[in-house]
């Protein structure tokens, strides 16, 4: 797949977010603008009227380099996975999630002194993705395995081990859990959905595919997990002979009766006494 084909294959919200992030970072690298023009500063926003900072701070991920590539990898992977997975055919809902997450992060940023919130928003997406893929098994550097809901905690621990501040990741986890609870948990408890997408946002994005709510997707994952466990339990033990298999099956069907009598009746003989 060529770079052009790969770019066009990205879902619409992911494509626009990645494009704006790359252009903002590239503009800073080429000194067309500087990070001081785009960072979050509540004083400049509300006192000086520089309202563009409410958005631009989400699109800067540091200087062009390995760290930028690392952030872009996570952004593309989990933004795309969410938009093509639990938000498939619901781009308006996905955009609404990002707007809600961005609003919450913006309201918390002055208290934790964070100037660029793009990494926190990406971490929010990682958290929501992990919650909606509870039975997906992951591996960290081939050292140990864990399920998807623990991915944010593993990344947080790894970041702290490298000497980074945990507040960026923790802020994203707070936003992610707030959205997950209000969108996935609270509606199942009360039957009400407080984060319903406004009509004016839904009008921008036509629904090309049937809506598949996250709760339904989670139930399908749970059903698949349960079916796999049942199939494993039904498989005969390795090296088990035909007689043992038949006796075990008869005992399960008629636990109160000696299975050897059924075996003898079915085969016209009785097994040797113990």
Pick the closest to residue 179 from 214, 142, 146 (CA basis): 214
Distance CA 58, CA 99 (A): 11
Task: Note down pLDDT in tens along the chain; length 274 residues.
Answer: 788 888 989 999 999 999 999 999 999 999 899 999 999 999 999 999 999 999 999 999 888 778 888 888 889 999 999 999 989 989 999 999 999 999 999 999 989 889 999 999 999 999 999 999 988 888 877 788 999 999 999 999 988 988 888 899 999 999 999 999 999 999 999 888 999 999 899 888 866 544 444 444 554 554 555 555 555 555 544 444 555 555 455 555 554 444 444 444 444 554 454 4
Q: What is the pTM of this model?
A: 0.74
Question: How many whole angstroms separate alpha carbon 225 and alpha carbon 137?
Answer: 12
Residue-wise over 123-143: b if at least 16 C-beta within 10 A, else e? bbbbbbbbbbbeeeeeeeeee
pLDDT at 165: 85
| Contact predicate 126/150, CB 8 Å | no
Asked whether the beta carbons of 13 and 75 are under 8 A apart, the reply is no
- DSSP codes of every residue in 110-159: HHHT-S--HHHHHHHHHHHHHHT-TT-EEEETTTEEEEGGGHHHHHHHHH
pLDDT of res. 1: 75
pLDDT value at residue 240? 47
In the prediction, which pLDDT does 220 show? 52
If one counts every other C-beta atom within 10 angstroms of the C-beta of residue 25, the result is 23
Structural domains of the chain ordered from first start: 3-228 (1.20.1540.10), 239-274 (no CATH)
């Amino acid at each position: 797949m060529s770079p052009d084909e790969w770019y066009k294959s990205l879902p619409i919200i992911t494509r626009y977010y990645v494009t704006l992030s790359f252009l903002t970072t590239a503009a800073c690298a080429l000194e067309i603008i500087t990070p001081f023009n785009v960072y979050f500063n509540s004083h400049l926003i509300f006192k000086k009227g520089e309202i563009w900072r409410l958005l631009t701070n989400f699109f800067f991920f540091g200087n062009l380099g390995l760290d930028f590539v690392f952030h872009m990898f996570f952004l593309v992977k989990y933004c795309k996975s969410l938009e093509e997975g639990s938000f498939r055919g619901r781009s308006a809902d996905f955009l609404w999630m990002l707007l809600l997450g961005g609003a919450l992060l913006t309201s918390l940023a002055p208290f934790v002194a964070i100037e660029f919130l793009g990494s926190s928003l990406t971490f929010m997406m990682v958290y929501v993705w992990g919650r909606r893929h509870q039975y997906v098994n992951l591996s960290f550097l081939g050292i140990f395995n864990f399920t998807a809901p623990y991915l944010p905690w593993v990344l947080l621990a790894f970041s702290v081990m490298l000497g980074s501040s945990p507040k960026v990741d923790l802020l994203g986890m707070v936003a992610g859990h707030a959205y997950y609870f209000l969108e996935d948990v609270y509606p199942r408890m009360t039957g009400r959905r407080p984060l319903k997408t406004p009509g004016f946002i839904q009008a921008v994005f036509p629904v090309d595919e049937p809506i598949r709510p996250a709760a339904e997707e989670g139930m399908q994952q749970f059903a698949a997990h349960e079916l796999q466990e049942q199939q494993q339990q039904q498989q005969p033990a390795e090296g088990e002979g035909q007689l043992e298999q038949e006796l075990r099956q008869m005992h399960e069907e008629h636990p109160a009766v000696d299975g050897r009598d059924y075996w003898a009746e079915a085969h016209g003989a009785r097994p040797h006494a113990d």
